[in-house]
């Protein structure tokens, strides 16, 4: 049998059973140990590492001793059993080694800008510019393999649930709401632009109208927004799915086993059993101060406005009466004997968040109330507070006072900060929950106008009747998020498939019928020819892999990410284009004065 040109085995699969066989391996020189008369090379490929031994009496030795790490070579030699003293139990292939008799240098490596065989950290700029080197390194290589396995598993699980995968266009039209679009100029239609989809939202709804029952796609989404640690600028991937003839509960039932299965299969820790807890939006804002609560954090916020209303603590009582402020309380268990610096530190933190400070009361072990605010509250009020917040002697409680939304947000941040300081966040667990009953509309503080708070395509709870009779700000939508450990994985909804409801819904947000038809014509028109009730969601793939890989930064789970300024340092994107191309596209540049970037 003719031997393969490059290898008979991978660098990861030789074992004792292969002893005394002649083998051929190819890979990268991971590390060299040159003893003068004897030389070891750890040869690495995707599958693993094998120790290759070169004896000084061979020609191969003379070639090998001139090698530099990360060069690519092919070696041939006998697989031999290592003597007991030289076995390396840390390597899966550590019972054997390859006694090399022939070497072929396939590709010579220059001196590297970063080391592959160490855990040394390198600047992000270097890592991105030489991404192909970073991807050789163990951690990143592993993360990308994990990502591939997660996506393969998602596909299998979705198909098992009866979903079918369809592709939708990448060159499409600009979406009317949402983030800024990435635009692509049309050569054929001067002055017109395609937009890259922010999500396949309208297409998946059209697929439902087209009679396909359960759609999914590992869909690329493009949004021209600034990056964050957990948000890659430019593009990201969603598990986009949609189902026909379903209620909200049907959607939950379909996707819960998929997410649970994925987190269990790859997470290597405890996962919330489904059905996942469902928390109404208003409860989430009150109890956790966030619409993406981290349920690993045991602290619960309480509204204690009534305790302070009419009290002698005028800072709060006046704000409640005259500014419609509320007081929210965050418990800090077993902290009454913490040093003053603990409370000062949190106070300083709150100032950094833009709050005047963080008031607090501590309950000493003998039951008395201490702290800067305590003396302003009567014993009855103190007792009511203690009862309301289920406090025990030895606990402390912090207060924030502000208008409702700001107070909720600050309390939520304080809840997280306090839990971190006290190390109360449960470890080694994925806690998933649904946030449901999002408001359909919200008031824009700046303009005083009513706007859609989430997706304008969502079905209002109560339908047309609710839209016609209720205060818009009280209407809830069949709109839901799924949250894991405080990270929003996806947003979804039961869609509004009824044209008359859609006209009314947009009318409340200030859009006339003509404008709706102009901007949503395709979808709206489709709903006039027989549309099934439908709904779905779109969990973020990158964030799921981030959680599974336990990485705090999304770039660690993307093979070729852009930097925070939305540049690809490896491919040099974006880049200038030639005047000829611009002319062909009917585009004249009007650049800002201060352009120096290349």
Residues within the interface to RNA (CB under 7 A)? 31, 33-38, 40, 42, 51, 53, 55-57, 68-69, 82-83, 85-88, 90-91, 94, 97, 111-115, 118, 120-126, 128, 175, 177-180, 198-199, 201, 223, 225-231, 452, 454-456, 491, 553, 555, 563-565, 567, 569, 596-597
Least separation, in Å, of the C-beta of 232 and RNA?
10
Q: Minimum distance from CB of 390 to RNA (Å)?
A: 30
Q: Which is nearer to RNA, 24 or 129 (CB)?
A: 129
198 or 317: whose CB is closer to RNA?
Answer: 198
CB nearer to RNA: pick between 35 and 427: 35
The nearest distance, CB 315 to RNA, in angstroms, is 25
| 308 versus 438: smaller Cβ distance to RNA | 438
Whether the Cβ atoms of residue 479 and residue 491 lie closer than 8 Å to each other: yes
Q: What minimum distance in Å lies between the beta carbon of 286 and RNA?
A: 19
Tokens 């000493």 correspond to what residue?
364
- Residues 6 or more apart from 525 whose CB is under 8 A from it? none
CA distance linking residue 39 with residue 56, whole number of Å: 8
| 104 alpha carbon, distance to own chain's centre | 44
**Smallest distance, Å, CB 152 to RNA?**
26
Q: Three-state SS across 309-367?
A: CCCCCHHHHHHHHHHCEEEEEEEECCCCCCCHHHHHHHHHHHHHCCCCCCEEEEECCCC
For 530, counting Cβ atoms within 10 Å of its Cβ (0-12 exposed, 13-18 middle, 19+ buried), the class is exposed
CB of 371 to RNA, least distance (A): 29
The answer to whether 421 touches 398, Cβ cutoff 8 Å, is: no
> Considering beta carbons, is residue 101 or 265 the nearer one to RNA?
101
If the CB atoms of residues 236 and 316 are measured against RNA, the closer one turns out to be 236
Nearer to RNA, 40 or 266 (CB): 40
Closest CA to 24 of 61, 57, 52: 52
How far apart, in whole angstroms, are the C-alpha atoms of residue 597 and residue 217?
A: 37
Q: Peptide bond preceding 482: is omega within 30 degrees of 0, i.e. cis?
A: no
CB of 177 to RNA, least distance (A): 4
Compute how many other C-beta atoms are within 10 angstroms of the C-beta atom of residue 138. 12
Residue closer to RNA by CB (options 125, 365) is 125
Q: How far apart are CA 484 and CA 476, in angstroms?
A: 23
- We find the least distance from the C-beta atom of residue 456 to RNA, in angstroms, to be 6
Q: How far apart are CA 394 and CA 301, in angstroms?
A: 18
Residue 343 CA to residue 305 CA, distance in Å, equals 22
């Amino acid at each position: 049998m003719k031997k393969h040109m490059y290898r008979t085995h991978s660098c990861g699969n030789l074992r004792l059973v292969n002893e005394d066989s002649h083998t051929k391996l190819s890979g990268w020189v991971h590390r060299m140990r040159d003893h003068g008369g004897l030389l070891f090379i750890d040869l690495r490929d995707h599958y693993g590492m094998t120790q290759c031994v070169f004896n000084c009496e061979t020609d191969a030795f003379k070639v090998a001793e001139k090698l530099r790490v990360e060069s690519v070579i092919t070696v041939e030699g006998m697989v031999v059993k290592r003597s007991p003293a030289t076995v390396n139990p840390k390597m899966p292939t550590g019972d054997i080694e390859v006694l090399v008799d022939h070497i072929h240098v396939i590709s010579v490596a220059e001196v590297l800008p970063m080391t592959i065989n160490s855990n040394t950290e390198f600047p992000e700029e270097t890592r991105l510019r030489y991404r192909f080197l970073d991807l050789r390194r163990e951690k990143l290589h592993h993360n990308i393999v994990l990502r591939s396995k997660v996506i393969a598993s998602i596909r299998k699980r979705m198909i098992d649930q009866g979903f079918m995968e369809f592709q939708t266009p990448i060159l499409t039209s600009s979406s009317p709401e949402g983030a800024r679009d990435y635009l692509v100029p049309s050569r054929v239609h001067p002055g017109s632009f395609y937009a890259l989809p922010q999500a396949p939202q309208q297409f998946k709804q059209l697929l439902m109208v087209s009679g396909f029952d359960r759609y999914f796609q590992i869909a690329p989404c493009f949004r021209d927004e600034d990056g964050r640690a957990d948000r890659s600028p430019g593009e990201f991937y969603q598990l986009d799915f949609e189902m026909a003839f379903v209620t909200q509960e049907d959607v939950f039932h379909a996707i819960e086993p998929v997410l649970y299965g994925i987190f269990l299969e790859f997470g290597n820790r405890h996962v919330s059993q489904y059905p996942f807890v469902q928390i109404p939006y208003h409860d989430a804002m009150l109890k956790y101060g966030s619409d993406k609560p981290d349920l690993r954090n045991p602290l619960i916020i309480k509204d204690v406005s009534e305790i302070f209303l009419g009290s002698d603590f005028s800072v709060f009582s006046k704000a409640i009466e005259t500014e419609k402020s509320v007081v929210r309380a965050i418990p800090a268990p077993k902290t009454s004997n913490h040093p003053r610096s603990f409370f000062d530190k949190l106070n300083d933190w709150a100032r950094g968040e833009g709050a005047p400070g963080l008031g607090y009361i501590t309950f000493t072990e003998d039951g008395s109330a201490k702290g800067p605010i305590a003396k302003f509250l009567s014993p009855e009020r103190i007792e009511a507070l203690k009862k309301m917040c289920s406090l025990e002697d030895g606990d402390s409680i912090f207060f924030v006072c502000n208008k409702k939304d700001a107070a909720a947000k600050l309390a939520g941040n304080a809840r997280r900060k306090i839990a971190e300081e006290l190390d109360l966040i449960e470890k080694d667990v994925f806690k998933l929950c649904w946030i449901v009953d999002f408001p359909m509309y919200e008031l824009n503080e700046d303009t005083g106008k009513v706007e859609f708070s989430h997706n304008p395509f969502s079905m209002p709870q109560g339908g047309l009747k609710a839209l016609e009779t209720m205060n818009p700000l009280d209407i809830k939508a069949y709109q839901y998020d799924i949250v894991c450990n405080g990270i929003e994985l996806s947003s979804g909804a039961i869609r509004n498939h009824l044209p008359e409801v859609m006209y009314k819904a947009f009318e409340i947000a200030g859009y006339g019928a003509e404008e709706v038809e102009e901007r949503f014509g395709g979808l709206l028109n489709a709903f006039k020819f027989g549309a099934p009730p439908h709904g779905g969601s779109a969990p973020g793939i990158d964030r799921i892999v981030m959680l599974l890989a336990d990485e705090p930064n999304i770039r660690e789970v993307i093979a070729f990410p852009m930097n925070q300024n939305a540049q690809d340092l490896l491919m040099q994107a974006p880049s200038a284009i030639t005047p000829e191309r611009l002319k062909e596209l009917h585009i004249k540049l009007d650049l800002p004065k201060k352009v120096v970037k290349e």
